């Protein structure tokens, strides 16, 4: 299952609104098929792995990170039906598909065909890998990761604005990896004006990843929508050549098509707006072992009335170290 979850990560950021699923088929202790949801959402992971396994799927064990879908789509048959036809002896799944068109019916169809089904294996890691799809299903909006890179005392720049660099090259490379896992990257107008960040994925082998670029700006949105009257407006701005979708408020991420994972890269104004709107599900806190003292704070007003409201919201779920910089990952407790 861990291998299936790792495979599912390959599709992440490119399968929305479909879940990024991973599948591994094992027979007599040997892997006979591996698959992950392909860019655009089809073919599904199970279809790829079954195709690879061919006749070997008979009597094998199929590991899938999500319950196989039970609904026949315009672009292909239901994965539950594909599995029934291939006749593995057993299907092991991490989580049940919350999509009402499947929601247990995938498992039921397998069991009805005499295939043994085991559910609930490695639930939390699978949930994390498919966070976008699951958040869309449960909260009706994309999953939002907020990235902050700060000193030990929570600063992101000197009073002069000097901010290159807080963290080292290893931490910054990891931040690019996080870009590759997102359908869209968002920055604020302040960061756009100060840094004109390219917002691309500059990592060997991942250069083809092109998450959509989002800009949060009330003023640009007003200007852009005067030209094209639409809720979310495309705008061409300097820096990297590509266009931006301009949002006039954080909750406009909800309406974005094919966007289940959003990475918010800052700056402080945008981070505060997303936190104040309680739209952050995951916090990536890269920390450099330095003290800055007087300087620019990582976040500003997030609408806290009293200290007790701050408690109980965040749970530390992972820590890693890049060079000398620790990364802490917190998840919003809901």
Ligand X SMILES: NC(=O)c1ccc[n+]([C@@H]2O[C@H](COP(=O)([O-])OP(=O)(O)OC[C@H]3O[C@@H](n4cnc5c(N)ncnc54)[C@H](OP(=O)(O)O)[C@@H]3O)[C@@H](O)[C@H]2O)c1
Q: Is 9 a catalytic residue?
A: no
Contact in structure between 192 and 237 (CB atoms under 8 Å): yes
Strands (E), the chain: 22-27, 30-36, 61-66, 90-95, 116-118, 143-151, 155-157, 184-188, 212-216, 233-236, 243-247, 261-264, 282-288, 296-297, 314-322, 325-332
- Using rule CB under 8 A, residue 36 touches its own copies: no
In this structure, what DSSP letter does residue 249 have? S
Percent helix, percent strand, percent coil in the chain, to nearest 5: 30, 25, 40
Q: Which does 289 bind (CB under 5 to 8 A by kind): ligand X, its own copies, none?
A: its own copies
Give least dist CB 147 to ligand X, A: 6
Return d(Cα 100, Cα 59) in angstroms, integer. Answer: 29
Stretch binding its own copies (CB under 8 A), from 25-33, 39-47, 62-70, 295-303: 295-303
Give least dist CB 122 to its own copies, A: 24
Instruction: Return contacts of 227-235, CB within 8 angstroms, 24+ apart.
Output: 231/255, 232/256
Contact in structure between 18 and 37 (CB atoms under 8 Å): yes
Give least dist CB 174 to its own copies, A: 18
Residues 256-275 that bind its own copies (CB under 8 A): 272, 275
Q: 128 vs 172, which CB is nearer to ligand X?
A: 172
Give least dist CB 272 to ligand X, A: 7
- Residues 63-92 as x/- pattern, contact with ligand X by CB under 6 A: ------------------------------
Among 45, 166, 180, 264, binds its own copies (CB under 8 A): 166
- Residues 94-133 as x/- pattern, contact with ligand X by CB under 6 A: ----------------------------------------
Backbone phi, psi, residue 8, to 5°: -60, -30
Return d(Cα 106, Cα 89) in angstroms, integer. Answer: 16
Q: Which does 239 bind (CB under 5 to 8 A by kind): its own copies, ligand X, none?
A: none
Beta-bridge partner residues of 262:
144, 184
Maximum Cα interatomic distance, the chain, rounded to a whole number of Å? 68
Among 33, 41, 188, 295, binds ligand X (CB under 6 A): 188
262 Cβ neighbours under 8 A, 6+ residues apart:
142, 143, 144, 145, 182, 183, 184, 185, 186, 214, 253, 256
- Residues 218-257 as x/- pattern, contact with ligand X by CB under 6 A: xxx---------------------------xxx-------
Please pick, among 9, 46, 124, 234, the residue that the annotation labels catalytic: 46
Q: Show which residues are catalytic.
A: 46
Q: Which residues bind ligand X (CB under 6 A)?
A: 148-149, 156-157, 161, 163, 166, 187-191, 194-195, 216-220, 248-250, 265-270, 273
């Amino acid at each position: 299952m861990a291998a299936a979850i790792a495979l599912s990560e390959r599709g992440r950021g490119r399968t929305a609104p479909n879940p990024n699923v991973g599948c591994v088929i094992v027979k007599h202790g040997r892997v006979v098929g591996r698959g992950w949801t392909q860019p655009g959402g089809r073919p599904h992971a199970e279809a790829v792995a079954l195709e690879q396994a061919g006749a070997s799927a008979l009597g094998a064990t199929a590991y899938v990170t999500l319950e196989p879908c039970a609904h026949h789509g315009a672009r292909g048959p239901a994965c539950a039906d594909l599995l029934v036809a291939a006749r593995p002896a057993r299907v092991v799944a991490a989580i049940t598909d919350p999509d009402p068109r499947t929601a247990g019916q995938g498992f039921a169809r397998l069991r009805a065909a005499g295939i043994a089904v085991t559910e609930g294996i490695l639930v939390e890691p699978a949930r994390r890998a498919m966070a976008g799809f699951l958040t869309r299903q449960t909260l009706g909006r994309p999953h939002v990761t907020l990235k902050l890179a700060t000193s030990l005392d929570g600063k992101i720049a000197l009073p002069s604005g000097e901010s290159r660099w807080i963290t080292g090259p290893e931490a910054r490379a990891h931040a690019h990896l996080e870009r590759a896992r997102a359908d869209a990257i968002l920055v604020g107008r302040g960061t756009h004006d100060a840094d004109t960040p390219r917002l691309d994925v500059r990592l060997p082998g991942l250069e083809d990843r092109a998450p959509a670029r989002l800009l949060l700006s009330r003023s640009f949105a007003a200007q852009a929508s005067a030209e094209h009257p639409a809720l979310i407006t495309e705008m061409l701005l300097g820096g990297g050549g590509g266009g931006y979708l301009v949002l006039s408020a954080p909750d406009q991420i909800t309406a974005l098509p094919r966007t289940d994972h959003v990475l918010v890269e800052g700056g402080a104004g945008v981070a505060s707006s997303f936190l104040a709107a309680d739209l952050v599900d995951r916090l990536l806190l890269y920390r450099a072992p330095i003290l800055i003292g007087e300087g620019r704070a990582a976040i500003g007003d997030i609408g806290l009335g009293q200290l007790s409201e701050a408690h109980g919201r965040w749970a530390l779920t992972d820590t890693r170290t890049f060079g000398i910089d620790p990364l802490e990952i917190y998840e919003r407790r809901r």
